[in-house]
Structure 1
């Protein structure tokens, strides 16, 4: 078992490694991008990658404090569901109005990888293989869809 500090360092080491691995990959528009802290340019819409003990996930999170507006964003994503899933080459799970780790109401469109452990370096290749193509596909989708969300700001 790891101390809290060791666990934190190991997790940070994974994200640093992943960031270095993704550094040469350009966005769909041919620009350098911070893949770990991806900026959607739309307030309250973010791409989240998480890895822990037991599972990892990648998600589009809608965190607008007004649940009605949050639902409008979610519905707009649903209108683009076929474009999203064709960009990703897979189906993701959709949840309107759930709670995050801070008990804040969010909506999520996500994919999980079970039986992975960020604290085990042997799992890092599978975690990287899980995150990399999905982040690249999300970027491609967002390049096509972002303008639609600009009007909802």
Structure 2
């Protein structure tokens, strides 16, 4: 087990190494890859990484505070599921009632794999998964973004 400080340093190193790894992506010319993240242009909709001790998740997350707004946006996204998954190039997990570790309910469309961010030896495999799936998720999101904007 790690002390709080050791775990913090390891998390920081993990994210720094992921950022450095994105500099080697085609077209980046040594610059780190800037992900869309929470700058999607749609309030309450983010693209995010969720990493921990048991699994690695790459997700589109709808986190609007009002449940009816959250579910309405999710239903609209779900109506474009065929196109979204075709652009993603694979199936995704669709969950309209995902409960985060902090107890907050969100809607999520995501892909996951087992993994532990605290095991350095697995980082290359984890980084490959995270980068590949986020590139694909961004591509799928951009295909339906204009459709989702207008509610």
Shorter-chain TM-score tier: 0.7 to 0.9
RMSD, aligned α-carbons: 2.0
Structure 2: runs of 5+ lacking an equivalent: none
Corresponding residue of 1:125: 124
Contact preservation (8 Å) 1:19, 1:36: no
Change in Cα spacing, 1:100 to 1:119, as seen in structure 2 (3 Å) is same
Instruction: Please identify runs of 4+ aligned residues in structure 1 that moved more than 3 A.
Output: 23-27
Structure 1 residue 3, shift from structure 2 partner: 0.7
The corresponding residue for 2:150 is 151
User: Structure 1 residues 140 and 61, CA, compared in 2 at 3 Å: closer, same or farther?
Assistant: same
User: Equivalent residue of 1:142, what SS?
Assistant: helix
Tell me the distance in 2 between the aligned counterparts of 1:148 and 1:23. Answer: 31
1:18-57 to 2 correspondence within 5 Å? 18-23=18-23, 25=25, 34-35=34-35, 37=37, 39-57=39-57
CA distance in 2, matches of 1:44, 1:82: 22
Structure 2 partner of 1:16: 16
- Give the Cα separation in 2 of the matches to 1:46 and 1:24: 25
Q: Deviations over 1:97-118 (max 9, x none)?
A: 232222222111111111x111
Partner of 1:75: 75
Which segments of 5 or more consecutive residues in structure 1 lack a partner in the other structure? none
Deviations 1:75-123 (A, max 9, x none): 1111111122112222111111232222222111111111x11111111
Aligned with 2:147: secondary structure?
helix
Alpha-carbon distance in 1 for matches of 2:26, 2:5:
33
Name the CA distance, whole Å, in 2 between partners of 1:76 and 1:62: 11
